[in-house]
A and B are shown apart, each in its own frame.
Chain A
Amino acid sequence: MRRMITICAAVTALASGAAVLQLKLAVQEKAEAVEALAQKIHEDREAIRVLEAEWAFLTTPRSLQEKSIRFLALMPPNAEQVVTDITRIPFRPKGVEAGEDPGVLLPTRAKPEEKPKNDKADEDKKGQSL
């Protein structure tokens, strides 16, 4: 009986000691992870500053306009194209009536002669604006 108690006590003590040690290590690990996370957040914030500056640089209106002229078949809208009343938007035509969607990209690949034509149209537009 006494021996049983002794063994029991020893085992309990060992087990609980091990558990405490493990808990402590786990907590330490978590604390380190938190610290690393905080450092990562700091670094990300610094990176975000750089990326915001880069984004502003890449999306500056001048370069957007140049890219739009190069790649898109879009022109500045005129007043008639601006619909101010939602009820005036027509429904999308269906079936036979529906023409092929022309898309917004310049068909440069399909028709290589299309591009200079578009450039000229843009020059005409510029000429008007002067």
Chain B
Amino acid sequence: MSATTAYQRLSLEGERKSALDVARNRLMVAVLLFFAAFAVMVIRTVELGLSTPETKQVAERQIVIPPVKVARADILDRNGEVLATNLETSSLYANPSEIKNPADVAARLVAVLPDLSLSEVEEKLSSDRKFVWLKRKLSPREKWEVNALGVPAFQFQREEERVYPHGRLAAHALGYVDVDGNGLGGVEYFFNDRLNDAGRTDEPIKLALDIRVQYALTDELEAAMSAHRAIGAAGIVMDVNSGEVIALASLPDYDPNDIRGVASQQRFNRATQGVYELGSTFKTFTFAAALDQGIATLEDGYDATKPLRIARFTIRDDHPKARYMSLPEIFAYSSNIGTAQMALDIGAERQQKFLRDLGFLDTTNLELAEVGSPIYPATWRKSSTMTISYGHGIAVSPVQLVNGIAAMVNGGRLIPATLTHNDDNWRQGQQVISQNTSRKIRQLLRLAVTKGTGGRSEAVGYRVGGKTGTAEKAVAGGYDRKALISSFVGVFPMDDPQYVVFALLDEPRGTKETFGYRSGGWVAAPVVKNVILRSAPLLGVAPKREDEGLYQQVALMIEED
């Protein structure tokens, strides 16, 4: 301030200013300019330092984490366990024009990648091209070894590989993919577009499968298959109240990680693709139809003294009692004669409608491409009605049977089977039989285990009910008496059904332990029992003492002899 007034005074006195004053004034101008500049800098400094706090600056910055990009969505089981995932891998290619001595390089490469053919690699490396594929999808170790060779002409291309960490487990449900990651089987094929949808690759598909139950089922089926030298086996575990498939096994199976050289026999899904005449397990549906439509009551009975003759067939019993049998006895002792007579009372039309309502005459809607269509007679004769009543003359896939049994025991609602984890699936259910009939069927199934042919499925504590099924395999022009399809369908716990467990063995042979028997009650029922013993604790079904009163009334009608 004082500098400014001094300057004014000096300029007013103007006339006598000396050369010194002029210099002084000019200097003052320069000083003022500097002051102004400093002032601006100070203000700017303060502004930068205080006006926008650092925290706010950072908060406003968008922190972008690069997303993990995969080409195909994962598949998980119902508990979130990884069943199929895409992992990064490398494919090896080379630029042959950079290689001077192809023979030597080829020999060194084949030494670390022994599955390549030396002559082929040599030929590729001696070509004039600039780019040749040498091997696709190397393991990390292989990649490291190739890098250790130190050949600059070898390059890697980032690729993705579909990995199934559980190997063979649930292979038929999962399916497999080709080298470019397109699904070729199982849910991989069925949901291919969804899995490859670029916008949704970070959303995995959750299946209804429980990998632990899947293993229990597969392990027991494998053991039974080798013990009975069967050519194949199939098994299903289904939640009766939601229609969800908890486990689905078909043997022989394959490793989806490496599908080269897998025979079509191994790829064949016996649980959904194979259609079989499943034998006596079908009696459950005949009984349900008769009880539900009031054609027979549990107090009725049929004469099973001697075999029935119809057209060119003779209907015999596998466990003949040769006497008048009550309905619970017919079911527990699996009498074909009694069931066939009951089917005649139902009639072809009502039987056909009932089976259609249960979906046995259509292909199942399960989320797999590998589903077999049922086989049944085009013209439904009297003899068809009788044989179909005990499961001959109609061939359905195991998953259809299990779905039907689930409807019989869950209070009468047919809920479509599903492989995906879906809490709302039960809403799609349709009432096919009454609650009351369902309760009677539950009693019959339980008594078939406690008193009838299914005794070897009794898993103590878990109140198993079930029905055996043994059928001769159909061959050209008749049946092969030597080749059986032995199955057992079990439900537990019978006082509040939760799960259906089905086991099927294809052409089992008798062993010393089964006294040469190879029927469903001998070979398949123990599988179901073991699967229940192993999986019930996993599925949260508590063992408890049985309420005998539930079955007492019906049990009295079964005469044991």
**Which residues in A have some Cβ–Cβ distance to B below 8 Å?**
1-2, 6, 9-10, 12-13, 16-17, 19-20, 23, 27, 30-31, 34, 38-39, 41-42, 45-46, 49-50, 52-57, 60-62, 65, 76-80, 82, 84, 126-127, 129-130
Q: In the complex, what's the smallest C-beta–C-beta distance from B415 to chain A, in angstroms? A: 27
User: Is B197 an interface position by the 8 A CB rule?
Assistant: no
Q: In the complex, what's the smallest C-beta–C-beta distance from A106 to chain B, in angstroms? A: 21
Q: In the complex, what's the smallest C-beta–C-beta distance from B459 to chain A, in angstroms? A: 8
Q: Are A56 and B462 in contact (CB under 8 A)?
A: no
Q: Are A61 and B42 in contact (CB under 8 A)?
A: no
A23–B61 Cα gap in the complex (Å)?
17
Within 8 A of A (CB), among B502-554: 511, 513, 526, 530, 533-534, 537, 542-544
Contact residues in B for A2 (Cβ distance below 8 Å): 3
A12–B333 Cα gap in the complex (Å)?
105
Q: Which of B49, B166, B169 makes the CB contact (< 8 A) with A20? A: B49
Chain-A contact segment, one of B64-72, B121-129, B274-282: B64-72
**Which residues in B have some Cβ–Cβ distance to A below 8 Å?**
2-3, 31, 35, 38, 41-42, 45-46, 48-49, 54, 57-58, 61, 63-68, 70, 81-83, 85, 87-88, 163, 165-167, 169, 211-212, 214-216, 219-220, 223-224, 227, 459-462, 511, 513, 526, 530, 533-534, 537, 542-544
A52–B85 Cα gap in the complex (Å)?
9
Q: Which residue of A lies closest to B67 (CB)?
A: A42
Q: Which of A46, A54, A61, A84 makes the CB contact (< 8 A) with B68? A: A46
Q: In the complex, what's the smallest C-beta–C-beta distance from B29 to chain A, in angstroms? A: 14
Q: Which of A31, A53, A79 makes the CB contact (< 8 A) with B85? A: A53
Q: Are A38 and B66 in contact (CB under 8 A)?
A: yes
A62–B67 Cα gap in the complex (Å)?
34
Q: Are B64 and A130 in contact (CB under 8 A)?
A: no
Q: Are A27 and B54 in contact (CB under 8 A)?
A: yes
Q: Which of A30, A38, A57, A77 makes the CB contact (< 8 A) with B166? A: A57
Q: Are B537 and A78 in contact (CB under 8 A)?
A: no
Q: Which of A10, A20, A34, A39 makes the CB contact (< 8 A) with B61? A: A34
Q: In the complex, what's the smallest C-beta–C-beta distance from B267 to chain A, in angstroms? A: 21
Contact residues in B for A56 (Cβ distance below 8 Å): 81-83, 165-166
A45–B67 Cα gap in the complex (Å)?
9
Q: Are B64 and A38 in contact (CB under 8 A)?
A: yes
A62–B214 Cα gap in the complex (Å)?
11
Q: In the complex, what's the smallest C-beta–C-beta distance from A48 to chain B, in angstroms? A: 9
A-B contact pairs, 26 of them (CB 8 A): A13-B41, A16-B41, A16-B46, A27-B54, A27-B58, A34-B61, A38-B63, A39-B66, A41-B65, A52-B85, A56-B165, A61-B169, A61-B214, A61-B219, A62-B167, A62-B169, A65-B219, A76-B533, A76-B534, A77-B537, A78-B460, A79-B533, A80-B543, A82-B543, A129-B223, A130-B511
Q: Which residue of B lies closest to A126 (CB)?
A: B223
Contact residues in B for A27 (Cβ distance below 8 Å): 54, 57-58
A45–B69 Cα gap in the complex (Å)?
10
Known: A16-B49, A53-B165, A56-B81. 16 other contacts (CB 8 A): A10-B38, A13-B38, A13-B41, A13-B42, A20-B48, A49-B68, A50-B88, A61-B212, A61-B219, A62-B169, A62-B215, A78-B460, A79-B462, A79-B533, A129-B223, A130-B513
A79–B216 Cα gap in the complex (Å)?
17
Q: Are A16 and B45 in contact (CB under 8 A)?
A: yes
A65–B216 Cα gap in the complex (Å)?
10
Contact residues in A for B459 (Cβ distance below 8 Å): 79
Q: Are A129 and B41 in contact (CB under 8 A)?
A: no
Contact residues in B for A80 (Cβ distance below 8 Å): 461, 543
Contact residues in B for A53 (Cβ distance below 8 Å): 82, 85, 87, 163, 165
